[in-house]
Structure 1
Amino acid sequence: MKRRELLSALGVAGLVAATGCLADDDPATAGRTDDGDDPTPSAARSPTPTRTPSESSPTPTESLTPPDVTTPAPGECEATAPPDPSPGAGLPDPRSYPDPPGTVDAETVGPFVEEYERAHRYNRLLGELAADGACVKYLDVSVTDRTVASADDGVVGEVTTRGSYTGTTCSDETGTDTATPLPHADLAFRTARYYVTDRFVVRDGTVVECWG
């Protein structure tokens, strides 16, 4: 994310921070939830109940189908590396991505895509904060819903996450703290779609892992 785009998103977060409203880490929809609703104070907001990760189950869903992408042929897989920032001082370490599941079925792929998407969004946010020279005392991404279904040669899944962070002052080279830390921001719910086989992982239409 470019600096001015991040500042634009953070500007919205700053405007709503006083009332605890939702913000979005995507500047194209900053300050709006994924369902298009205007932000409301999180203390008063009553979101539609969803399955928590512990309640999620690999229930087949007819609406989940493999993505309409060209899948790599055996031995020809090329992946686009997922976010893996080097944030430095004032920011936490990036999250590790999970190992491939031992078998590819709805039961094993469900937890895998939860962990993968949590790490993917967390690391992307971390990289954006690092690029802007920001510091945070708290950063987290949680999984709020997951659906998986068996498909031809693999498993399709959708994972919904929500992130949040709280800024803190950064010390410059002289040890002097910066004057204005980032505000607290509760980020919008976002859903990513996965297609997992025993050879590769596709996330939102992009191959992100090659296993064989």
Structure 2
Amino acid sequence: MGYLESRKNLAGSAGGIAGLALTFTGLAGAYWPAVVLGLYGAGALIAPPEHPPLPDFPDPSAQLDELRGDFSKLREYLNGVELPPAAAGRLTELTEILTALLDPGWVAAVLAQDPEGVHTLSRAIRQDIPEAVDTFVRTRWWTRMTPGTEPPERHLERQLAVLHEESERLAAQLRETEARRQESLTRYLEDRGRSQ
């Protein structure tokens, strides 16, 4: 059924109809079946190939909706974990930035236009933060068994500091994008005012 609606069949059918027209006008003569089949084949050969449809990926706003859901799950997990005060403070600062970036509105709309930014946020929420906290919890237990080793709190604080810096860089990039957009609009309006 798919071939009947294909470009090749439609172009071949048009060629076959042209062959029948030649037959009825008397130009094809006794070889009319070969003319009709030949024109059908020629039409089918020159027709452009079928293009597979593009995959239906979710739009960026749908990706951010999924990310918001995952962030809610992460916050529930983090609420159940006991962290040292310094690491808890760093984690609070980090989650505040992530909350601000994911809030629905114009910030999320700007973020949705930045695939790298969405990927960075997704990686932090779905992988980096849970892994850092989980590794801390597991290592803390082993540290109790072997006193005198480097406290796992230091690693957790450093990891959260790196993730905080990464989130701040993302926020700064989004801010710069909006600033460039504003400057472009100013130049456009000034140029339009001069041309009138």
- TM-score normalised by structure 2 residue count: 0.25
Q: Which structure shows the higher strand fraction? A: 1
Bigger Rg over Cα: 2
- TM-score normalised by structure 1 residue count: 0.24
Q: Which structure shows the higher helix fraction? A: 2
